[in-house]
Amino acid sequence: MQTRLNFYRSRPEPMKTMPRIKQSTTRSCLKPPITSYRFISRLVCSALLCISAVLLSPAQAAAPIAAGFETLQAADGADKPLEVSVWYPTEAVAQQVDLGPFTLNIARGGAVAGQGLPLIVISHGNGGSSLSHHDTAVALAQAGFVVAAVAHTGDNHADQSRAASMMDRPRHISRVIDHMLTKWPGRDHIDAARIGVFGFSSGAFTALTVVGGAADLGRIAPHCQQRPGDYPCQLVARQPAATAAMVAAMVQPDRDTRVRAAVVAAPALGFTFTQASLGAISVPIQLWRAEQDVVLPQPWYVEPVRAALPKPLDYREVPNAGHFDFLAPCTPRFAAMAPPLCNSQPGFNRVAFHREFNAAILGFFKVALKP
């Protein structure tokens, strides 16, 4: 299935009128017209009692679900522990909280609400953080998902020492799943049979490998000889030793069979995948492309993945979007810190787009991970 999204242009929203409420009367109230004061008084009291009963019923009195939040560390063998941000449904009251340059609507430390909750692990792009997709995480948590976003060791905003070591990333996802299922205090709330992964850019490459995609890293050198200006090729040029070691090792990470669905947005190194290497993927995939992506331009990144993945495929193309429009909408603080990550094409409304983006991701995971 291909979906071309055409509603993300920035324009004033038209004023909407409130729908007219259609009045109805129950059978028990069908009585001849009586205008006596006593009858009217009884009618008013009866109506008030009915309203009170509805307002005080358990269904109506239930607290709204907010996004709980905490941070933790997950063991990664002999390597240093992974930094992880976790969101989850809670009945605690959410507040606006500033975390670095971001503002989140969360309830820090609130108790986990619900049972049999699905788990989504988020893998950020090159140089990102566990908060890169915080709005998507909050949307999922409010809908009843547990979300764990990892900061990839050596490839995050504070440490780029291993940015070219792409094959470490799938292990990080598996270690986070291990921790969430066996050591997280709220682990009894998670359904271990309902696990998905969301990845952007380098994280999208990570997601594909986690669900069984095999990358031919030998394709990197020929591609970069022809297109040295591509962002991945610039990264390779800055860390040639690490890239050479990764290619020489040719180690393919094992598929994590616990992951049953993946959302893949603007995958890096898409040209390293072939129909043979992605044909074995058996889980549902939702694939996203930004039409104006100049960081990972067509036809070398999304298109090879789209062509190679088994069909049917949930494919989404976003007109006028740039590569970084998949990141959470920027606060003024973050925009001042990192303008290239926050500058969208003229007329593109990232806030409006993310309402639809998050809704589409939520809808996909609800279907793909249904019990």
Backbone angles phi, psi at 229, to 5 degrees: -80, -15
Q: Which strands make up the sheet holding 117-123, listed edge to edge?
A: 2-4, 314-318, 285-290, 259-265, 190-200, 117-123, 146-151, 79-90, 66-76, 102-108, 95-99
Cβ-contact 238, 129 below 8 angstroms = no
CA distance 282 to 268: 21
Mean pLDDT along residues 247-271? 88
Does residue 29 register a pLDDT over 60?
no
The crossing angle, in degrees rounded to 10, of helices 240-249 and 231-238 is 100
The pLDDT tens digits of the residues spanning 135-168 come to 999 999 999 999 999 999 988 898 878 876 788 9
Does residue 250 register a pLDDT over 80?
no
Beta bridge partners of 190: 117
Mean pLDDT along residues 14-31? 33
Does residue 353 register a pLDDT over 90?
yes
Q: Which stretch of 36-45, 146-155, 228-237 has the lowest confidence by average pLDDT? A: 36-45
Mean pLDDT along residues 229-235? 90
Which comes out higher in pLDDT, residue 53 or 330? 330
Q: Is 292 exposed, middle or buried (0-12, 13-18, 19+ CB in 10 A)?
A: middle
Q: How many CA atoms lie within 13 Å of 297's alpha carbon, on the beta-carbon side?
A: 7
Q: Which pLDDT does position 249 carry in this prediction?
A: 60
Q: Which stretch of 48-62, 85-99, 243-257, 260-274 has the lowest confidence by average pLDDT? A: 48-62
Does residue 83 register a pLDDT over 70?
yes
| Region of residue 308 (phi > 0: left; psi between -120 and 50: alpha; otherwise: beta) | alpha
For 164-225, the DSSP string reads T-GGGHHHHHHHHHHHHHHTSTTGGGEEEEEEEEEEETHHHHHHHHHTT----GGGHHHHHH
Percent of the chain with pLDDT over 90: 71
CATH class as words, domain 2-8+64-368: alpha beta
Domain ranges of the chain: 2-8+64-368, 33-60
Q: Which pLDDT does position 63 carry in this prediction?
A: 60
DSSP letter (8 states) at residue 159: B
What does the mean pLDDT of the chain come to? 85
Q: Which pLDDT does position 39 carry in this prediction?
A: 42
In the numeric block, which tokens belong to residue 140?
Answer: 């999922």
Which comes out higher in pLDDT, residue 325 or 17? 325
CA distance 97 to 300: 40
Cβ-contact 107, 92 below 8 angstroms = yes
In the numeric block, which tokens belong to residue 244?
Answer: 């050479």
* CA distance readout (Å), 223 to 111, 269, 270: 49, 10, 11
Q: Which pLDDT does position 241 carry in this prediction?
A: 77
47: Cα separation from own chain's centroid:
45
* CA distance readout (Å), 204 to 19, 166, 357: 42, 11, 15
Cβ-contact 210, 170 below 8 angstroms = yes
Q: Which pLDDT does position 253 carry in this prediction?
A: 79
The pLDDT tens digits of the residues spanning 64-80 come to 799 999 999 999 999 99
Percent of the chain with pLDDT over 70: 81
Where do we find the tokens 């929203």?
13
Cβ-contact 95, 350 below 8 angstroms = no
pTM higher than 0.85: no
* CA distance readout (Å), 241 to 214, 223, 238: 22, 18, 9
> What pLDDT band is residue 244 in, cutting at 50, 70 and 90?
confident
Cβ-contact 341, 324 below 8 angstroms = yes
